[in-house]
Structure 1
Amino acid sequence: MTPFLNIAREGAVMTVTMDRPQDRNAITEPEQSAEFVALADMLARDRTVRAVVLTGAGKSFCAGGNVKSMREKTGLFAGSPFDQRNHYRTTVQTIGRAMWELEVPVIAAINGHAIGLGFDISLMCDIRIMAEGAVVAESYVKLGIIPGGGGAWLLPRVVGTARASQMTLTGDAVDAATALEYGIVSEVLAAENLLPRAQGIAAAIAANPGHATRMAKRLMREGMDQKLPTHLEVAAAYQALSHHTADHAEAIDAFLDKRAPAFRDR
């Protein structure tokens, strides 16, 4: 089987493309989930990658689960209810855990349909931008199932309870203009401008010290479930670590010397 994730790198920016256009980049096989986990593990070790762009090949970002496999009870959808519960826990749910723990900033370039699990994967990213003709949908109920990969936890945190409930309980698709209004995405662009813009945002992130962007992301993620006093204690510890990095010293010198900094991820 050829890799599901096509990985390219330019400097400190990595572009990851879900690459099954013939299947609308649907996720059905355990190996596909394992690739996301392996990618997150690699990024946790490689501090020279400072930003990631995630997109899809062809006309879709990711169509979620393969409906034909659901009907045929194959792949993730095979076996007893207990088998299927274990399949979810050991495959698609590992994507959510890995992406949530990932400290490298990730920009989702939603080039086409992001449906079900595909939409949930975009919600796991830090920044989402969208092509004008793309749509997103938390569409599980239309197939008689529920959000199994983390969407019921993620979506209310992005759009609020009322809009998350409407999207989840109707399963209806949301177009790009509505996604922008809801705050699902920060920008809507012509299709041909989407990937260059995502890579431009990634480059702007990557221009900063990697330790600072990774810890700032961690602060925001942990802060979602913390009380303010706890959050401030963690922030103080992270700030103290930051002040003792070589890249912080380089940033200060470059600012005062009125020159471009040269960060070395240390």
Structure 2
Amino acid sequence: MIKKLKLIDSKFNIENKVGMLTFCRNDIRNALTGSCIINDIINTVEYINKNNTVSVLIITGEGKVFSSGGNIKEMLKKNTSFSGPVEEVEKKYRYGIQQIPLYMEKIEIPTIAAINGPAVGAGFDLACMCDFRIMSNNAFLAESFIDLGIIPGDGGAFFLQRLIGYQKAAELTLTGRKVSASEALELGLILKKVDPNQLLQEAKKFANEIAKKPKNTIRYTKRLLKMGAKLPLKEFLDFCALLQGISHNHKEHKSALKNIKRKM
């Protein structure tokens, strides 16, 4: 029996096999720290990986901001996730915000960041951890850690350079400048840019296009794509053969063949 998903600073709903996780801390610009959003992301991933009724996940923010990343007010206070000696801060990062990339890599289904407003610092990095990004025309992205005298401690540098290459990732990280939706599209950072009132509609439309495909095959295909970026060719081909063997023996394949035969 799958336990009901309990979230504190986010809400989650499922429609037609598409899940939507919405951050609900507009009062702090949907900051990932100084809130329960990190745990909400972790709990959502664990729920989805155990629940085969969800085939695609959309992540977005409530209000005018996708996520401001780190909570600046929390950084100014003592006894927070940003304070303490080196060893203590290191531990807080490992067991805090660094859990986001680990779980975003662990999620078994395709993820879409519906960027409704500014995605800054760790908020930008979270969007980069998703498989796809659809962005509102009035939003912007910024890898702004350097302006705070810190580095992307959440692992953002790992993801950004894999999306747009080392040189451009270095430029954005070392300047911290804002990237518009138009430039993000040119760089290949996002799949498409849309008018603000069309964002969720477009994200859902794309998600539904994927979600109508065989649900187990969606998960196998995502796993295959991820492993393709990690394994040497021979090991990758071995992995392909294994997954294909599983796929050929799965009821989804047999059902798909029957549907094709009926149309012939």
Normalized against structure 2, the TM-score is what?
0.94
Which residue in 1 is equivalent to 2:150?
A: 145
Give me the whole-angstrom Cα distance separating, in 2, the residues matched to 1:132 and 1:197. 13
Which residue in 2 is equivalent to 1:62?
A: 67
Between the aligned residues of both structures, percent identity stands at: 37
What pairs with 1:101-140 in structure 2 (closer than 5 Å)? 101-140=106-145
Give me the whole-angstrom Cα distance separating, in 1, the residues matched to 2:38 and 2:46. 13
Q: Contact between 2:23 and 2:37, CA under 8 Å: does it hold in 1?
A: no
Which residue in 1 is equivalent to 2:4?
A: none
Q: Contact between 1:30 and 1:91, CA under 8 Å: does it hold in 2?
A: no
Which residue in 1 is equivalent to 2:200?
A: 195
Deviation of 1:98 after TM superposition, in Å, equals 0.5
Normalized against structure 1, the TM-score is what?
0.94
Deviations 1:160-212 (A, max 9, x none): 11110101111111010000001010100000001011011111111011111
Q: Contact between 2:9 and 2:35, CA under 8 Å: does it hold in 1?
A: no
Give me the whole-angstrom Cα distance separating, in 2, the residues matched to 1:206 and 1:132. 26
Deviation of 1:74 after TM superposition, in Å, equals 4.4
Which residue in 2 is equivalent to 1:237?
A: 242
Aligned length: 258
Which residue in 2 is equivalent to 1:262?
A: none
Deviations 1:6-57 (A, max 9, x none): 1011121111101111111001137321221111111110011101110000
What pairs with 1:211-230 in structure 2 (closer than 5 Å)? 211-230=216-235
Which residue in 2 is equivalent to 1:5?
A: 10
CA-based RMSD of the aligned residues comes to 1.4
Match of 1:47 among 24, 29, 52: 52
Amino acid at match of 2:115: I
Give me the whole-angstrom Cα distance separating, in 1, the residues matched to 2:35 and 2:29. 17
Deviation of 1:233 after TM superposition, in Å, equals 1.0
SS of corresponding position for 1:61: coil
Match of 1:98 among 86, 99, 103: 103
Which residue in 1 is equivalent to 2:191?
A: 186
Change (3 A) 1:174 1:229: same
Deviation of 1:78 after TM superposition, in Å, equals 2.6
Deviations 1:111-143 (A, max 9, x none): 101011101111111111100011011111110
Give me the whole-angstrom Cα distance separating, in 2, the residues matched to 1:157 and 1:117. 16
SS of corresponding position for 1:54: strand
SS of corresponding position for 1:87: helix
Q: What runs of 5+ residues in structure 1 fail to find an aligned partner?
A: 260-266
